Chains A and B, each alone.
Chain A
Amino acid sequence: MIRLPLDLGCRDVVELVTDYLEGRLPADERTRFELHLGYCDSCRIYLRQMRQVLSATGRLGEESISPEAREALLRAFRSWKAGQGGGQ
């Protein structure tokens, strides 16, 4: 089997994943990347896993801060509010 010179190896693909997801691949490289994904199940799995990681990472952002910290800040806010007017 002869590899086309334009063909990306899987080893290249895993290094380009972030540029791809960030939309920073030049058009020709993006085409080669997508061409590779077209025939390589393993790299499709790799890309899917990366997306799954990102989606789960985003779920960390939904977590609330501790009630203690929230209360302390709320107290600071109320105290600021009460003292407002002279603070400008």
Chain B
Amino acid sequence: MTPGGELGGRAHGPATASGYAPAGGPFEGTTRGACTDTSEGYGFTRPARCATDPNLPATGEPSVLLPAEEAELAALRAGDEQAFLALVQQHQRAMLRVASLYVSSKASAEEVVQEAWVGVLRGLHRFEGRSSLKAWMFGIVANCARALAARDARSVPLSSLAAEGDEDEPSVSPDRFLGEAHRWAGHWAAPPHAWPDARVESREMVTLIQEALAALPEAQRTVMTLRDVDGWDSDDVCSLLGITEVNQRVLLHRARSRVRSYVEQQLAREDA
């Protein structure tokens, strides 16, 4: 089974340099050095707190953890199951999503995440808070995913993902706007109609969005999901994926526009 299946296996957690080749982010050409060593962070930035803080570890670089994260970390280290389950609930799905950027199957992504959790647990006592807990954890996920992809020599060709935002794709079909010959050129010819509140608030809406997300190209889906489902901010998404803020926004825009269009089509179809 997986090396970390029963917490046996390697002498060091996946966050160490052993066996993990440095590589770029899932979108090639974005090599960062942060993943080669203890992986404190994945390029996520946060200003260091005042170095005179009495809660800081005595050695190493100053902790950047917020007080709530310090408390979370202390609870985890103390073996608090509720704290652990809260962490799982908060990050598990995003971890799977990130893992699946590197490996080709759902089963591999699950294996990666399982290994990453083991790495997180093993590393907890070594973690010095030089990045947020989340950044550190996702660094471990990326390391595990790259290791597995290398081991199985079946990494997904991801170099094309960053280019997903490159094609010029309109958010709404051009034929829904008046043509150049019209004096109101560029205004709606077939305007959107308001959706009934009851349907917007229904479970159906969530299902439609799930379907729409599933149909998106991978980079768009990843960006929109991390931003709008997992509530990440754009800086964290850019750091993790190794893309620029502008590229992130283009991908997000494409994704949201496509999802809205899909929902519109489906709601109209069922109305008819």
Contacts and interface: CB of A to CB of B under 8 A. Distances in A.
Contacts of A19: 249, 253
B31 interface: no
Interface stretch (B43-51, B138-146, B148-156, B182-190): B182-190
A52 B231 contact: no
Contacts of A42: 188, 191-192
Interface in B229-259: 229-231, 234, 249, 252-253, 256-257, 259
A58 to B, nearest CB: 6
B256 A18 contact: yes
Interface stretch (B14-22, B54-62, B63-71, B114-122): B114-122
Chain A contact residues, majority secondary structure: helix
Contacts of B266: none
Contact of B206 (A18, A41, A60, A79): A60
Contact of B186 (A10, A64, A65): A10
Contact of A45 (B117, B193, B224, B257): B193
Contacts of A17: 171, 253, 256-257
B177 A10 contact: yes
B246 to A, nearest CB: 9
B84 A74 contact: yes
A26 to B, nearest CB: 14
A31 interface: no
Interface in B170-208: 170-172, 174, 177, 183-188, 191-195, 200, 205-206
Contacts of A70: 85, 88
Contact of B84 (A43, A77, A79, A83): A77
A81 B79 contact: yes
A87 B79 CA distance: 13
A57 B249 contact: no
Interface string A77-88: 111110110011
B32 interface: no
A9 B118 CA distance: 53
B84 A52 contact: no
Given A10-B188, A11-B177, A73-B117, A53 B249 contact: no
Interface in B79-129: 79, 81, 84-85, 88-89, 92-93, 114, 117-118, 121-122, 125-126
A10 B193 CA distance: 14
Interface of B: 6-7, 79, 81, 84-85, 88-89, 92-93, 114, 117-118, 121-122, 125-126, 170-172, 174, 177, 183-188, 191-195, 200, 205-206, 209-210, 213, 224, 228-231, 234, 249, 252-253, 256-257, 259-260, 263-264
8 contacts: A3-B183, A18-B256, A45-B192, A56-B205, A61-B229, A64-B89, A76-B117, A80-B121
